Structure 1
Amino acid sequence: MIRTDALDQLPVRTAVPALRRALGDHGAAVLCAPPGTGKTTLVPLVLAGLTGGGPARRVVVAEPRRIAARAAARRMAWLLEESVGERVGFTVRGERRVGPGTVVEVVTTGVLLQRLQRDQELAGVDVVVIDECHERHLDADTVAAFLLDVRETVRPELRLVAASATTDAEGWARLLGDAPVVEAPGVSHPVEVVWAPPPSPVRPPHGMRVDPALLAHVAAVVRRALVERDGDVLCFLPGVGEIGRVAGQLTGVDAEVLQVHGRAPAAVQDAVLAGSGGGRRVVLATSVAESSLTVPGVRVVVDSGLAREPRVDHARGLSALTTVRASQAAGRQRAGRAGREAPGVVYRCWERAEDGRLARFPSPEIKVADLAAFALQAACWGDPDASGLSLLDPPPAGAMGAAREVLEAIGAVDAAGRVTSRGVRMSRLGLHPRLARALLDGAAQVGGRRAAEVVALLGEEPPREYGDDLAAALRAARRGGDGYAARWRQEVRRLSAALDGASRSGAPSGGGAAGAPSGGGAAGVPSGGGTGVSDDVAVGLVAALAFPERVARARGQGAFLMASGTGAEPREGSGLRGAPWLAVAVADRPAHAVSARVRLAAVVDEDTARLAAGHLRSAGEEVGWADGDVVARAVERLGAIELSVRALRQPAPDLVREALLEGLRTEGLGLLRWSRDAEQLRLRLAFLHRVRGAPWPDVSDGALLACADVWLEPALSRARRRADLARIDAGQALRVLLPWASGEAARLDELAPERIEVPSGSRVRVEYGGEQPVLAVKVQELFGLRETPRVAGVPVLVHLLSPAGRPAAVTADLASFWREGYRAVRAELRGRYPKHPWPEDPASMEATRLTSARLRGR
Structure 2
Amino acid sequence: MIRDAALNLPVREALPALRAALDGPGAAVLCAPPGTGKTTLVPLALAGLTESDGPVRRVVVAEPRRIAARAAARRMAWLLGEKVGRTVGYTVRGERVVGPHTRVEVVTTGVLLQRLQRDQELAGGGGVDVVIIDECHERHLDADTVAAFLIDVREALRPDLKLVAASATTDAEGWARVLGDAPVVEAAGVAHPVEVVWAPPKDPVRPPHGMRVDPSLLTHVAAVVRRALREREGDVLCFLPGVGEIGRVAGQLAGLADVEVLQVHGRAPAEVQDAVLAGGERRRVVLATSVAESSLTVPGVRVVVDSGLAREPRVDHARGLSSLTTVRASQAAGRQRAGRAGREAPGAVYRCWAEAEDARLPRFPAPEIKVADLTAFALQTACWGDPGATGLALLDPPPGGAMAAAREVLTAVGAVDARTGRATERGLGLSRVGVHPRLARALLDAAPRVGARRAAEAVALLSEEPPREYGDDLAAALRGARRGGDGYAARWRAEVSRLTAAAGSGAPRPPSGGTAAKALGDDAVVGLVAALAFPERVARRAADGTYLMAGGTRAEAGPGSGLGGAPWVAVAVADRPVGAGHARVRLGAVVDEDAARAAASSLYAEGDEVAWAEGDVVARHVERLGAVELTVRPLRNPDPGLVREALLDGLRREGVALLRWSKDAAALRDRLRFLRLHLGEPWPDVGDAALLAEPDAWLEPELGRARRRADLARIEAGQALTRLLPWAGGEAVRLDELAPERVEVPSGSRIRVDYTDPERPVLAVKLQEMFGLDDTPRVAGVPLLVHLLSPAGRPAAVTADLASFWRDGYRSVRAELRGRYPKHPWPEDPARATPTRYTKARQERSERA
TM-score normalised to structure 2 length:
0.95
Q: Please say if 1:29 is aligned against 2:32.
A: no
Looking at structure 1, the residues matched to 720 and 261 of structure 2 have their Cα atoms a distance apart, in angstroms, of 80
- Once structures 1 and 2 are overlaid, which stretch shifts more, 835-844 or 176-185? 835-844
CA offsets, 1:474-519, max 9 Å, x none? 11111111111111111000011112222xxxx54333xxxxxx27
Moved more, 814-823 or 748-757: 814-823
CA contact (8 A) 1:443 1:529 kept: no
Look up the match of 2:584.
597
Give the Cα–Cα distance (whole angstroms) in 2 for the partners of residues 343 and 837 of structure 1: 101
Structure 1 residue aligned with 2:267: 263
The counterpart of 1:700, out of the listed 667, 679, 687, is: 687
Q: CA, structure 1 residues 789+536, in 2 after alignment: closer, same or farther (shift >3 Å)?
A: same
Please tell me the residue identity of whatever aligns with 2:612.
W
Partner of residue 843, structure 2: 852
Question: Aligned residue for 1:307?
Answer: 310
Q: Which residue of structure 1 aligns with residue 299 of structure 2?
A: 296
Partner of 2:56: 56
- Offset of residue 130 of structure 1: 0.7
Q: CA deviation at 1:717?
A: 1.4
One-letter amino acid matched to 1:82? E
The amino acid of 1:409's aligned partner reads A
Q: CA deviation at 1:194?
A: 1.6
Mapping 1:560-709, distance limit 5 Å: 560-709=547-696
Secondary structure, in 3 states, of the residue corresponding to 1:26?
A: coil
Partner of 1:515: none
Matched, 1:47 2:50: no
Contact 2:17-2:185 within 8 A present in 1 as well:
yes
Q: Distance in 1 between matches of 2:550 and 2:268?
A: 35
1:353 and 1:634 map into 2 onto residues whose CA distance is 61
Q: Which of residues 347, 358, 362 in structure 2 aligns to 1:359? A: 362
Per-residue deviation, residues 195-224 of structure 1 (Å, max 9, x unmatched)? 222232222111111122222222222222
User: Which is further off, 77-86 or 388-397?
Assistant: 77-86
Distance, in Å, in 1 between the alignment partners of 2:43 and 2:445 is 42
Q: Which residue of 1 aligns with 2:469?
A: 465
Residue of structure 2 equivalent to 1:118:
118
8 Å contact kept, 2:69–2:106: yes
**Residue 819 (structure 1) shift:** 6.5
> Secondary structure of 2:13's match?
helix
Q: Is the 8 A contact 1:443 1:451 kept in 2?
A: yes
1: CA distance between counterparts of 2:379 and 2:282? Answer: 49
Say which is worse superposed, 173-182 or 831-840, in terms of deviation: 831-840
Deviations 1:689-740 (A, max 9, x none): 2222222223334443444453222221121111111111111111122222
Question: CA shift at 1:834, angstroms?
Answer: 7.6
Matching residue of 1:11: 10
Instruction: Give the deviation of 1:165 after TM superposition.
Output: 0.7
- SS of the residue 2:68 aligns to: helix
Structure 1's 743 and 88: CA in aligned 2 closer, same or farther, altered over 3 A? same
Contact 2:85-2:102 within 8 A present in 1 as well:
yes
Q: Counterparts of 1:221-620 in structure 2 under 5 Å?
A: 221-253=224-256, 254-276=258-280, 278-415=281-418, 416-502=420-506, 507-511=507-511, 518=512, 528-620=515-607
Distance change in 2, residues 1:730/1:35 (3 Å) = same
The aligned counterpart of 2:83 is 83
Q: How far apart are the structure 2 equivalents of 1:826 and 1:462?
A: 87
Matches within 5 A, 1:745-756: 745-756=732-743
Deviations 1:9-37 (A, max 9, x none): 11111111111111111100111111111
Residues 754/25 of structure 1: CA separation in 2 closer, same or farther (3 Å cut): same
> Structure 1: any 5+ residue segments left out of the alignment?
512-517, 520-526
1:524 aligned residue: none
CA contact (8 A) 2:31 2:169 kept: yes
Opposite residue 255 of structure 1, the aligned amino acid is: V
Contact 2:429 2:508 in 1 (8 A): no
Q: In structure 1, how many angstroms separate the alpha carbons of the residues matched to 2:673 and 2:338?
A: 69
Aligned residues: 839
- Identify which range, 817-826 or 659-668, moves more after superposition: 817-826
3-state SS, counterpart of residue 159 of structure 2? coil
CA contact (8 A) 1:581 1:604 kept: yes
2:471–2:562 contact (8 Å) kept in structure 1: no
Q: CA deviation at 1:847?
A: 5.7
Written as runs of structure 1 = structure 2, the 5 A alignment for 1:62-73 is: 62-73=62-73
Root mean square deviation, CA, Å: 2.2
Which sits farther off after the overlay, 769-778 or 491-500? 769-778
Query: Could you say which residue in structure 2 is the equivalent of 1:514?
Result: none
* 1:148 alignment counterpart: 151
Indicate how the Cα distance of structure 1 residues 2 and 787 shifts in structure 2: closer, same or farther if over 3 A, else same.
closer
Does the 8 A contact of 1:835 with 1:852 survive in 2? no
Partner of 1:134: 137
Aligned equivalents of 2:218 and 2:376: distance in 1?
34
Provide, for residues 561-586 of structure 1, a one-character-per-residue CA deviation record: whole Å limited to 9, x for no partner: 11111111111122324211110111
Q: Match for residue 522 of structure 1?
A: none
Aligned CA distance change for structure 1 residues 752 and 216 (closer, same or farther; 3 Å): same
Q: Say if 1:499 and 1:509, in contact at 8 Å, map to a contact too.
A: no
Change (3 A) 1:157 1:806: closer
Work out the percentage of aligned pairs sharing the same amino acid. 79
* 2:779 matches 1:791: yes
User: Could you say what secondary structure the match of 2:542 adopts?
Assistant: strand
- Give the match's secondary structure for 1:264: coil
Query: Which whole-Å CA distance do the structure 2 matches of 1:635 and 1:137 have between them?
Result: 44
Closer/same/farther in 2, CA of residues 151 and 808 from structure 1, 3 Å limit: closer
Deviations 1:399-444 (A, max 9, x none): 1011000100111101121100000011011000000000000112
Deviation per residue, 1:76-113 (Å, 9 max, x gap): 11111111111111111111111111111111111111
Structure-2 change in CA distance of 1:776 and 1:556 (3 Å): closer
Contact 1:442 1:542 in 2 (8 A): yes
Counterparts in 2 of 1:816 and 1:476: CA distance versus 1, 3 Å = closer
Moved more, 551-560 or 803-812: 803-812
Which secondary structure state, in structure 2, belongs to the residue aligned with residue 618 of structure 1? strand
Q: For 1:439, give the aligned amino acid.
A: L
CA distance in 2 between partners of 1:828 and 1:113 (Å)? 91
Q: 1:310–1:761: structure 2 CA closer, same or farther, 3 Å change rule?
A: same
Deviation at 1:759, TM superposition (A): 4.8
What is the identity, as a one-letter code, of the residue corresponding to 2:38?
K
Residue 212 (structure 2) pairs with residue 209 (structure 1): yes
Q: 1:852 to 1:220 in 2, by over 3 A?
A: closer
| Stretch deviating more after TM superposition (192-201 or 133-142) | 192-201
- Output one character per residue of 1:137-190: Cα deviation in whole Å (capped at 9) or x when no partner: 111100000000000001111111111111111111111111111111112011
Per-residue Cα deviation, 1:454-481 (whole angstroms, up to 9, x for no partner) = 0000111111111111101111111111
TM-score by length of 1: 0.94
Query: For residues 740 and 488 of structure 1, do their structure 2 counterparts lie closer, same or farther at Cα, with a shift above 3 Å needed?
Result: same
2:752 aligned with 1:757: no
CA distance in 2 between counterparts of 1:725 and 1:103 reads: 81
